[in-house]
Structure 1
Amino acid sequence: MTFSSTSSVPPPSPLLPATRITVYGCGRDEAALFRRTAPRFGVEATLTEAAVSEENSEMAAGNQCISIDHKTPVTPATLRALHRAGVTYISTRSIGYNHIDVTYAAGVGISVENVTYSPAGVADYTLMLMLMAVRNAKSTVRRAELHDYRLNEIRGKELRDLTVGVIGTGRIGAAVVDRLRGFGSRVLAYGKRPTIAADYVSLDELLRSSDIVSLHVPLAPDTHHLLDQSRIRRMKRGAFVINTGRGPLIDTEALVPALESGRLSGAALDVIEGEEGIFYADCRNRTIESTWLPRLQKMPNVLISPHTAYYTDHALRDTVENSIINCLNFGSRKQHG
Structure 2
Amino acid sequence: MKVAVFSSKSYDREYLERFNNERHELVFFDATLNSHTTSLSLGYEAVCVFVNDHLDPETIKQLQENGVRLIALRCAGFNNVDIPSAEEKEIKVVRVPAYSPHAVAEHAVALILSLSRKIHKAYNRIREGNFSLEKLVGFNLFEKTVGVVGTGQIGAIFCEIMLGFGCRVLAYDPRESDALKQKGVEYCTFDELVRQADIISLNCPLTPETYHLLDKNVFDKIKKGTMIINTGRGAVIKTSDAIDALRSGKLGYLGMDVYEQEENLFFRDLSESIIPDEQILQLITFPNVLITSHQGFFTHEALEEIAATTIKNLSDFEEGRTLENEVRIKKS
Q: TM-score, normalised by structure 1?
A: 0.87
Distance in 2, Cα, partners of 1:87 & 1:209: 49
Query: In structure 1, what residue type is equivalent to 2:20?
Result: A
1:289 counterpart residue number:
276
- Structure 2 CA distance for aligned equivalents of residues 256 and 221 of structure 1: 22
Q: Deviations over 1:189-246 (max 9, x none)?
A: 1101013412111111111111000001001111011101101111122110001111
* Paired position in structure 1 for 2:307: 320
- Give the letter for the 1:209 counterpart: Q
Name the CA distance, whole Å, in 2 between partners of 1:235 and 1:184.
Answer: 22
Instruction: Give the gaps of 5 or more residues in structure 1.
Output: 1-18
Provide the rounded CA distance (Å) in 2 between the counterparts of 1:184 and 1:205.
20
The Cα of 1:66 is off from its aligned counterpart by: 2.4
1:104 correspondence with 2:94: no
Report what 1:172 is aligned to.
154
1:69 to 50, 55, 71: 50
Which ranges in structure 2 are unaligned for 5 or more consecutive residues?
324-332
Asked whether the 8 Å contact 2:316–2:322 carries over to 1, the reply is: no
Aligned residue for 2:228, secondary structure, equals strand
**1:151 corresponds to which residue?**
133
Q: Once the 2 structures are TM-superposed, how far is the Cα of residue 53 of structure 1 from its aligned partner?
A: 4.3
Number of matched pairs: 317
Moved more, 86-95 or 150-159: 150-159
Alignment-derived partner of residue 186 in structure 2:
199
Equivalent-residue separation in structure 1 for 2:322 and 2:151 (angstroms): 36
TM-score scaled by length of structure 2:
0.88
Deviation at 1:247, TM superposition (A): 0.9
Deviation at 1:334, TM superposition (A): 6.7
Paired residue for 1:229?
216
Matched to 1:186, the amino acid is: R
1:157 Cα shift?
A: 1.0
In structure 2, the partner of 1:7 is: none
Distance in 2 (CA, whole Å) between partners of 1:101 and 1:277 is: 20
Q: After superposition, what is the alpha-carbon deviation per residue over 1:87-135, rounded to whole angstroms, capped at 9, x for unaligned?
A: 1221111111122222222222222222121111111111000111111
Higher mean C-alpha deviation, range 23-32 or range 316-325: 23-32
Letter in 2 for 1:158: N
Aligned partner of 1:264 in structure 2 is: 251
Query: Using the alignment, how far apart are the partners of 2:238 and 2:114 within structure 1?
Result: 22
How many angstroms apart in 2 are the aligned matches of 1:54 and 1:153? 49
Number of the residue aligned with 1:140: 122
Aligned sequence identity (%) = 32
User: Helix, strand or coil: the match of 2:103?
Assistant: helix
What is the Cα deviation at residue 149 of structure 1? 2.4
Q: CA RMSD in A?
A: 2.1
Q: Is the 8 A contact 2:122 2:136 kept in 1?
A: no
Aligned twin of 2:10: 28
Larger displacement relative to structure 2 (92-101 or 20-29): 20-29
Contact 1:139 1:301 in 2 (8 A): no
Deviation at 1:322, TM superposition (A): 0.8
The answer to whether the Cα contact below 8 Å between 1:102 and 1:111 also exists between their aligned partners in 2 is no
Contact 1:138-1:302 within 8 A present in 2 as well:
no
Q: Does 1:85 align with 2:102?
A: no
Partner of 1:186: 168
